[in-house]
Amino acid sequence: MNRPKRIVVLGSTGSIGISTLDVIESLPGRLEVFGLSAHSKVKELLEQAKKHKAKFIAVSDAESAAKIGLSELPQGCQLLSGADAVIKLVQMAEVDMVVSAIVGAAGIVGTWAALEAGKPVGLANKETLVVAGPLVMELARKKGVAILPIDSEHSAIFQAMQSGPKESITKIVLTGSGGPFRGKKTFELEQVTVEEALKHPTWQMGPKISIDSATLMNKALEVIEARWLFDLDASQIEVILHPESMIHSFVEFADGSVMAQASPPDMRLPIQYALTYPERVPGPTRKLDWQSLKAWHFEQPDLETFPALKIGLEVARMGGTCGAILNAANEVAVDRFLKGELAFLDIAKAARTALDHHNFSPTPSLADLFQCDRWARQEIIRWTSKKNQTAQAQ
Same domain, yes or no, for 155 and 297? yes
Same domain, yes or no, for 77 and 135? yes
Contact 213, 179 (CB under 8 A): yes
Same domain, yes or no, for 245 and 305? yes
Same domain, yes or no, for 313 and 323? no
Tell me, what CATH number does 119's domain have? 3.40.50.720
Same domain, yes or no, for 14 and 121? yes
Same domain, yes or no, for 109 and 190? no
Number of domains the chain contains? 3
What count of other Cβ atoms lies within 10 Å of the Cβ of residue 250? 22
What count of other Cβ atoms lies within 10 Å of the Cβ of residue 80? 19
Same domain, yes or no, for 114 and 176? no
pLDDT tens readout for residues 13-33: 999 999 999 999 999 999 999
pLDDT tens readout for residues 139-152: 999 999 999 999 99
Residue-number span of the structural domain to which 389 is assigned: 319-394
Same domain, yes or no, for 167 and 122? no
Domain end call among 99, 131, 149: 149
Cis peptide before 149 (omega within 30 of 0): no
Contact 350, 384 (CB under 8 A): yes
Same domain, yes or no, for 99 and 183? no
Domain end call among 297, 318, 339: 318
Domain end call among 266, 301, 318: 318
Contact 35, 92 (CB under 8 A): yes
Tell the burial category of 345 from Cβ atoms under 10 Å away from its Cβ (0-12, 13-18, 19+). middle
Same domain, yes or no, for 92 and 217? no
Whole-number pLDDT of residue 239: 99
The 8-class DSSP code of residue 201 comes to S
Please report the DSSP string for 262-331 in residue order. Answer: E--S-THHHHHHHHHTT-----SSPPP-TTT------B---TTT-HHHHHHHHHHHH-TTHHHHHHHHHH
Same domain, yes or no, for 259 and 332? no
Q: For the whole model, what pTM was predicted?
A: 0.94
Average pLDDT of the chain?
Answer: 95
Confidence of residue 110 (pLDDT cuts 50, 70, 90): very high
